[in-house]
Amino acid sequence: MHRRAHTVTNTTEHDLMVCFEPWGSGYPLKPGESFEFVVESPEEGEFEIIEEPGVVTLFAWPGCTMTIYQNGEVFLDIPIRVPGTPNGMSTRSFLGMILGRE
């Protein structure tokens, strides 16, 4: 099992929207607070991260489940695995294609 972690910290003075795909979920993160995203997957992979003003989006890869921690406590557990994508496509590029964003 492959495990990866990534922490998002809001270093701004305003709420930061943190979205995680492909689950289509997102939560506001208050200034000075952090979310730690931990994924596990039978397949090796890396997060794809998009940072835009006021929004950070993390894309997991096929096979992942995700647990989000805040202040060392489980904030959200997502046991639904990311479905597979066509060969050569990441989760981000596949979602962009089917939603008409890329």
Number of structural domains the chain divides into: 1
DSSP classification of residue 42: S
CB 62, CB 47: distance < 8 Å: no
Q: Please say if the pLDDT value at position 44 is more than 80.
A: yes
Tens digit of pLDDT for each residue in 57-75?
A: 998 888 899 999 998 899 9
Q: Please say if the pLDDT value at position 9 is more than 60.
A: yes
Per the structure, the complete domain to which residue 17 belongs is given by 2-99
Q: What global pTM score does this model have?
A: 0.80
DSSP string covering 62-73, please?
TT-EEEEEETTE
